[in-house]
Structures are given as C-alpha cells and as structure tokens.
Amino acid sequence: MDRRDFIIKGALGGAGLLISGVTGKVFASSKGSKKPPYPYKPIDPAMIEKKAYDYYFKGHCAYGVFASILDTLKESVGGPYVGIPGELLEYGRGGINGWGTICGALNGAAAIIHLCCRDWKTVVDALYKWHNETPLPIYNPENPRKYKGALGSSISTSPICHISVMKWCEKTGFAYDSKARSERCARITADVAKKTVELLNAYYYGKLKAKTVPGIYKTKMECTTCHNMKVGG
C-alpha cells in the first residue's frame, strides 16, 4: 500500500474516509484537525427541516440543527467533517443545560455556519435577525411527534431561550413544561436548520444580501426586550 495515499476502510465505521499521506496536510493542522472553514455543498432546505425535526427527538435543539447539517456534509463532502461528532452540541439544549441563555437552535446553527463559511459573521447575523423578527414556528410536520393540535406562533424579539419561550407561552397559553412547548421547540429547530441552509446556499451559490447587525452598547440584542420588564424575585 502506498503510504502517501491510502484509503482507510472500516477503521472509521465503514465511512471510507480518504486520507492522503502527504496531501493529508490539506485536512490536518498541527493538532490533527484542519482549521475551518471547510467546503460546502448545497443542501435541500425541505430535506433538512424534516431531518432537523427528527434529530430534535434524539438530542434536542442545538444538536438538532448542528448534527442534521453536519451529518449531511459528512455524506456530501466528508473529509474534515467526519471526525466531528454531531453530539458535540447536545449541551446547548434549553439555552445550555436549562440555563435559558442562547437558544440552542441558534447556538448549533452558529457552530455549523462557522465550520463551513469564511464569512460566518454575516450569515450568523442574518440568521439571528431573521429569528428575532419572524413569527415561529413555521414548520408543520405531517406526523407531529409530541403534539398534534394547533401551536400558534410568536415573535421572539430575542435570541435568548427563556425570553423566546416565554413570549410564545404568553401568546398561546401553553405551559413551559407542556408537550406543545416541546413540539414548538422541535419545529423551531426545523425552521432554524432550514433558514441556515437557505442562507448558506445563497452565500455559496446565490447572492446573499445580508447586512451585519450593528451593535448597541455591548450587544446586538434589543435592550428593552428584557430590561424594562418587571418580574418578581
């Protein structure tokens, strides 16, 4: 076997990963992994929303967006994506282990966008702006997994998990710990994954006219969404 160019079959779960002995440097940094960004190939938005919805029920919101797109790129591109576990972003669920900070779907989306896009900042800003201004969820699966009735929708005005959930609970009357709320988050996982690949497809193959969101004193979030809100405690 030529040491300079050999195929490892079986070693990596039958993935048939091609590693080149010398040209392998293309995929390798000093620590054994290539620095992103990695190549991208177009992804069907209709396919990914269904896949991300299904993935939500395996590993929640952040995993749902990150792993559904990552696994798709493992199949279409392979290479440097193959060594990264989709489960890496599982910790993002519930705004990171229930802390209610960044929406897990948006955390997972930023992670995968950064992996496959040199101009990741523009794409992340476009996605977050869309998320904050759009009535969600949009996706309406043929066979809902947790709740089959009408869910309604709400505008989150914020990328923060517990603010987004609270806005939706207030609008629809569903409880935080209801099956409908879980269904809503699964569908938003689908929505965010779909929008993410639409933006990536537009960035690579179309004309993405995204504007970087200007910062307001230490953040890009709207101040008054949170701060002039009276709560007990």
Min CB(172)–a copy of itself separation in Å: 15
Among 68, 107, 182, 196, binds a copy of itself (CB under 8 A): 107
- DSSP reduced 3-state for 111: helix
Number of residues that bind a copy of itself (CB under 8 A): 84
Asked if residue 70 lies in contact with residue 89, where contact means CB atoms within 8 angstroms, the answer is no
Nearest to 102, CA basis, from 192, 205, 211:
192
The structure tokens listed for 76 are 């279409």
In angstroms, what is the minimal distance from the CB of 61 to a copy of itself?
14
Neighbours of 100 (CB within 10 A): 16
Cα–Cα distance, 22 to 24 (Å, whole number): 5
Q: Does 230 bind a copy of itself (CB under 8 A)?
A: yes
CB of 139 within 8 A of CB of 170? no
Contact in structure between 80 and 37 (CB atoms under 8 Å): no
Which residue in 44, 46, 97, 118 binds a copy of itself (CB under 8 A)? Answer: 97
Whether the upstream peptide bond of residue 159 has omega within 30° of 0, thus cis, is: no
In angstroms, give the least distance from the CB of 233 to a copy of itself.
Answer: 4
Beta carbons of 163 and 225 less than 8 angstroms apart: yes
User: Which of 7, 25, 39, 44 touches a copy of itself by CB under 8 A?
Assistant: 25
Figure out which of the listed residues 48, 52, 84, 180 binds a copy of itself, where binding follows CB under 8 A.
84
Cα–Cα nearest to 106, from 92, 119, 117: 92
Map the footprint of a copy of itself across residues 124-183, applying CB under 8 A.
124-125, 128, 159-162, 165-166, 176
- CB nearer a copy of itself, residue 143 or residue 224: 224
Q: In whole angstroms, how close is the CB of 144 to a copy of itself at the nearest point?
A: 22
Question: What is the residue whose two structure tokens read 């938005």?
Answer: 45
* CB of 140 vs a copy of itself, minimal distance in Å: 25
- If the CB atoms of residues 27 and 139 are measured against a copy of itself, the closer one turns out to be 27
Residues 209-228 within binding reach of a copy of itself (CB under 8 A)? 215-224, 226-228
Tell me: does residue 111 bind a copy of itself (CB under 8 A): yes
Which residue in 110, 119, 24, 25 sits closest to 62, CA to CA?
110
Among 90, 183, 191, 198, binds a copy of itself (CB under 8 A): 90
205 lies in the binding site for a copy of itself (CB under 8 A): no
Binding of residue 69 to a copy of itself (CB under 8 A): no
